[in-house]
Chain A
Amino acid sequence: MKKDNYNRKRISVAFGGKFAIGAKVMADFFGLEYVKLPPSIDNFRKAKDYFPEEWCFDIKMMYGDILAAIEQDVDILVGLSSGIISFVGPCRLPFVAEKQIPEKLKKRFPDKDFQYLYFKFMPQVAYFSFLKNMKKIGINIYNPNNHLKLKKINKIIKLKFKLLKKNRELMRQVRAQAFLKDKKKSYEIYKKFEDEIFTIHDKKILKNLSGTCKKDLREVSQDKNIEILKIGLIGDLYTVFWEFPVFDLENFLAELFNVEIIAPYSVYDFYYSKKWKKTKSKYKKKYLKYWVGGSDTLTIKGHLEMIGNVDGIIQARSFGCMPEEVASLAIQQINEEQKKEPSFMILSFDDHSNAEGIKTRVEAFCNTLIRKKQHARK
């Protein structure tokens, strides 16, 4: 088993995506070594080989991460899901993460020595689920010091997610109006900041780094006369979980057209926004009677918020994700209710996604919006 110089236990989070930033803070505070799993298509390919029976892309992503973590000899593997197994709804992820994965791993990797933990990361139960799992890995949750640590961890994670959200929004605005040669630069400034804060947990340093990122972004030369296209990006795939699962959607859009991506929510909102909790009951009553898992209401709310504020809306969803499918149906109803139907497109992603096909759809969508704008002006 691989061990670092401090002989720490190695922990990794499958399906972690952007949550890895939070998981790293927790691991560092409790003396564990966090093994980061960058998303790669190779992981999905392997998942397909080992678990060909799975068709939901989210589940395949989770299996892909699990295989990558096993290859890296982790001691503790955490499976995530935004749901609870007994809940009403079509999302299969809680069942798979809690029941199927441990059984399948036992059968397919009988000789591997690691501990699998299931963590419900939905905001309402995340804390209790976390405490339960800490107990399992031998951390005394009754120790007051550990409680103090948890409080601090929570504050740092919240700050990191908030700074990422703010800087990302700024980067999106800057990049939309940046000269062609500087579009990439804007993203690189933001990405550097994201990478830097991964290992830093000091509030003051984090704020300083954020300030530098903002300053650098504001210095990027922009053409204020450029007409920009505002595109709302909804669906949990690119907003909450991953950035680059199979297709670099946001960078493709931003570099090809003068597009400002507006994502109505981020991982910060998913976890910490009080607005999200209120949203749930409000939109559920009208468009969904039950919680169907995942970020169904977030997608619906995001869509409603975007109508009238952007030129077009893209719902990027995982192929086979039932909550997102349900959200699409609700969105269809919402669009029909509008006086002027918004320009809306669904993009479905999985490991079979043909990049050229996606590019054509995205390009056609943007060109349609540009021509609509030109036509309206005439």
Chain B
Amino acid sequence: MPENKSKYYLGVDMGSISIKTVIINDDKKVLYKSYERSDGEPIKKLKTRLAQIKPEYLANIYGVGITGSGRNLAKIYIGADTVIDEITTQATAVLEKYPEVKTIIEIGGQDSKIIQLQDGVVRNFAMNTVCAAGTGAFLDQQAARLKIDIKDFGEIAMKSKEPTLIAGRCTVFAETDMIHKQQIGISVEDILAGLCNSLAKNFVYAVAKNLEIKKPVIFQGGVAANVAMINAFNIFLDTQVIIPDDYNVMPALGAALLASEKNLEKSEFKGANFIEKDIQKKIWHCHDCGNNCELIDVIVDGVKLSTTGSMCGKHNS
């Protein structure tokens, strides 16, 4: 009886260092969510992750939304009904659950964003430009350098009594500063807390720039797991930032919500069977002009499915 069948919607956020998946039902309730590091193998990880989702959900997918920096590639692999940018998906998820929020702060693996909301839509947004200072990848690097598990970063920093001053504008200068502070004997917790403070300041000065940070403020993205970063924003913005339950999967949730809005009778989702197929990538260069584009062929079961990466569009398919 197809008319009584439950409908599910899949949201995928193919981020720079992690993959987030969400399944929601018609009532927009989150039934399944996962956050996983991609470890340089995003497609392999996505396949593994999808294979772990209940077959009942996968068999009744009526909409797939994909977002994140790898969204176009992921679309080729699993099929999608909505392929959309992270700003829109973040805002959609926040507005669904926290309609009172005026500002979204999002810090992910390689980018950070500020989104201003007004009357239920995005009013303005800004992203980090040419520098990754203050993003999750930098915190990861520093944790690894100090031989600290990234999961413990926040807890250790919260033990600080006297956070030190760290130059947060540039990752190179910040690292130099941290090494110097270590050399002069400042404790690891004070250095980590100082780093969080400087990254919060950097966010406001370098990412938000002229955008007003109106309250209430919501803080999401992988870095929102770091309690010391939350604390730094609370102090610096003089507010209690909201941390949503699904803070690390919000774009995936937004993508699923947008896919569900389409009310489709049939999804472009390639189905659970596709997960089992042999997927290969072939990377080659076009030398027809000086751009020397790096092109990626996606080959599924020996058949070329698509080519991406051509700047002039000649080879894209």
The interface of chain A, by Cβ under 8 A from chain B, is 38, 40-43, 68, 184, 244, 247-248, 251, 319, 332, 343, 348, 350, 352, 355-357, 360-361, 363-364, 367-368, 371-372, 375
Contact = CB atoms under 8 A, between A and B. Distances in A.
> 3 tightest A-B contacts by CB?
A40-B290, A42-B290, A364-B87
B121 A367 contact: no
Interface string B99-140: 000000000000100000001111011010110000000000
A88 B76 CA distance: 53
B253 to A, nearest CB: 17
Q: Point out which of A68, A350, A363 has the most chain B C-beta atoms below 10 A from its C-beta.
A: A363
B210 interface: yes
Contacts of B312: 244, 248
B197 to A, nearest CB: 27
B88 A371 contact: yes
A364 B111 contact: no
Q: Point out which of A248, A319, A361 has the most chain B C-beta atoms below 10 A from its C-beta.
A: A361
Given A364-B86, A364-B88, A42 B130 contact: no
Interface in B65-91: 69, 84-88
Contacts, number: 69
Contact of A43 (B111, B125, B130, B290): B290
Contacts of B313: 184, 248, 251
A247 B291 CA distance: 11
A372 B121 CA distance: 6
Nearest to A247: B311
B303 interface: no
A244 B119 CA distance: 37
B6 interface: no
Contact of B121 (A43, A357, A360, A371): A371
User: How many B residues touch the partner, as a band?
Assistant: 20 to 34
Given A251-B313, A357-B111, 15 more contacts: A41-B290, A42-B291, A184-B313, A244-B312, A248-B311, A248-B312, A350-B130, A355-B311, A360-B86, A363-B88, A364-B85, A367-B87, A368-B124, A368-B125, A375-B120
B111 A40 contact: no
A375 B121 contact: yes
B292 interface: yes
B1 interface: no
A367 B85 contact: yes
A350 B69 CA distance: 20
Contacts of B119: 375
7 contacts: A248-B312, A348-B130, A363-B85, A364-B122, A364-B125, A367-B122, A375-B120
Is chain B's interface secondary structure helix, strand, loop, or mixed overall? loop
Contact of A40 (B87, B127, B210, B291): B291
A40 to B, nearest CB: 3
Given A42-B291, A42-B292, A357-B127, A363 B84 contact: yes
Nearest to A348: B129
Nearest to A68: B290
B291 A343 contact: no
B289 A343 contact: no
Contacts of B125: 364, 368
A256 B306 CA distance: 18
B121 A332 contact: no
